[in-house]
Amino acid sequence: SAKQAGKGRAEHYDVMLDERLARRRRLDRDMRQALTDGGFELHYQPQIRLSDESVKGFEALLRWHHDAEGWISPAEIIPIAEATGFIVEIGRWALHKACVDALAWQGRRVAVNISSNHFKLPDFVENVFEVLDVTGLSPQLLEIEITESILLDRSYDVLGNLARLRVRGVRIALDDFGTGYSSLSYLTSFSFDTIKIDQSFIRNLRDRPESAAVVEAVTLMARALSMEVTAEGVEDVEQLNLLLSKRCDNVQGYLYGRAQPLCALPQTLLQIPQYRQDARWVEMPAV
């Protein structure tokens, strides 16, 4: 009967929910262990300045190889860590590790993702300054990536914290722009150094004129506000050419390179592809 079928579905649903909760608990336990055992790594994805296709810096992205499950995506563990508060431990570790690693990059920046509930801790700004003091990294070489959700929280002095970081010279990037509770007024309430257009707009640049319009609007606005624009998730030359035509400043994506372990970066730097030259060649009339 329909009633029985409904009951069956409900039980099935319960089992799936139980499994998901059990996995979350397991991952929560294992990631605490991983952080103390040195099981976490940071991989680095190049950020390319389009004017000359040079590597301007790298974004630090968390990587975890789980003994039993293999590589586990940050998209799965970051939300768990955010829910338990463990993200603060991860964030402190990542900040320190990224600053140490960046010392070897001869003036290239490092971008570190910081979750809202880490950013809002009263000692966050002091922690950042401590890491800069201890490592000796120039503040101008550190960029903190935050998301718009930070700006919604009125329970603490968000803008004050951002301003203190910036006075010291630390750069601030607004990540995943366009996916949150984007309000243009946020962009004028604080002077960010960089706006990162979310990859969802880049993915369908070719097929959706709306996305191209968003990219154009954001780049124009950013220029008027003296901020840089970085496009995330650039995977092909067609997207690149469109971004060039909109005068986007920087790009990040598989087209130029995926996130790599630290030891692979010297090689990565030698092998960054140069598409702009190629594009000009293609544009030349055939003789």
Q: Which residues bind ligand C2E (CB under 6 A)?
A: 45, 61-62, 73-75, 78, 87, 91, 94, 113-115, 145, 175-176, 199, 232-235, 252-254, 259
- The rounded distance, in Å, linking the Cα atoms of 251 and 234 is 7
By a kind-dependent CB cut-off of 5 to 8 A, residue 101 interacts, out of Mg ion, ligand C2E, none, with: none
- Would you count residue 176 as binding Mg ion (CB under 5 A)? yes
Least Å from the CB of residue 118 to ligand C2E: 7
Distance of CA 133 to the CA centre of its chain: 24
CB 60 within 8 A of CB 112: yes
For Mg ion, the closer CB: 30 or 232: 232
Question: How many whole angstroms separate alpha carbon 21 and alpha carbon 14?
Answer: 10
Q: Is 143 in the site for Mg ion (CB under 5 A)?
A: no
**CB 60 → ligand C2E: shortest distance, Å?**
6
Residue 156, phi then psi, degrees to nearest 5: -150, 175
Nearer to ligand C2E, 13 or 254 (CB): 254
Cβ distance to ligand C2E smaller for residue 59 or 246: 59
Query: Based on the number of CB atoms within 10 Å of its own CB, is 59 exposed (0-12), middle (13-18) or buried (19 or more)?
Result: buried
Site for Mg ion in 187-226 (CB under 5 A): none
Phi, psi of 182 (to 5 degrees): -50, 125
In whole angstroms, the minimum distance from the beta carbon of 62 to ligand C2E comes to 4
Residue 242 binding: pick among ligand C2E, Mg ion, none (C-beta 5-8 Å cut-off by kind): none
Residue 16 or 240 with smaller CB distance to ligand C2E: 240
- Give yes or no for residue 145 binding Mg ion (CB under 5 A): yes
DSSP 17-35: HHHHHHHHHHHHHHHHHHH
Closest to ligand C2E by CB, 70 vs 285, is: 70
234 contacts: CB under 8 Å, gap ≥ 6? 202, 240, 243, 251, 252, 253, 254, 255, 256
Q: Which residue has the tokens 């993702």?
A: 113
Between the CA of residue 181 and those of 20, 87, 168, 192, 274, what are the distances in Å? 28, 22, 28, 17, 36
Residue 113 within binding range of Mg ion, rule CB under 5 A: yes
Closest approach of Cβ 74 to ligand C2E, in Å? 4
Contact positions vs Mg ion (CB under 5 A):
113, 145, 175-176, 232
